[in-house]
Amino acid sequence: MRLAVLVSGSGTILEAMVEAGVEITLVASDRSCRATEVARRSGLATTLVPRADFGGFSAEFDRRGYTLALTAVLVEHGIDLVAMAGFGTVVSGDLHEAFPGRILNTHPSLLPDFKGWHAVEATLAAGVDETGCTVHVATEALDDGPILAQRRVPVLASDDAASLHERIKTVERVLYPEVIARVMASLARGDDFPAKES
């Protein structure tokens, strides 16, 4: 199975994948970031498909054009499975059409609760005593799709967004590589769809 990891940020999830022995074919980024340096230090192939070439972060950003360019790179590399790891660009449905049921994502809440970019802040604002992380099959709808695994994290009275997010990430760095490895093994066996964690 040929895995591509999509990155935009610090690369801590990518580091966890590498440390867990997940076999990665390609690391693709939408901007220059620490994650690409992590990939290079780990001897992984990297490619940059820059948002800047498609309007950057302006209102004129060509989302579909960007997605088609990224999809073409993944297809060219013979990718079987895509894992988003802090990837900051919301892609169009074209990527999902090219890799149906083959795109994974991790999110810092117990989905379907607290979707979106500010899940940790929303968790604190809601006053709940428990949150966690979710690994799911990504769909065109944001933070939607079949849930593959979840882990719970208590919300402490002393938590702010930074401390809570870091504790969630600590759990996520273990869970996500485990699920990716399980999905890769499942697909290699020819299973129709990766099973939810039992």
Quote the Cα angle for 83-60-140, to 5°. 30
Measured over the CA atoms of residue 165, residue 171, residue 177 and residue 180, the dihedral's sign is negative
Per the listing, tokens 């966690």 go with 132
How many Cα atoms within 13 Å fall on the side-chain side of residue 175? 25
Supply the residues annotated as catalytic. 107
Residue carrying the six token digits 């979707």: 115
Please give the biggest Cα pair distance in the chain: 49
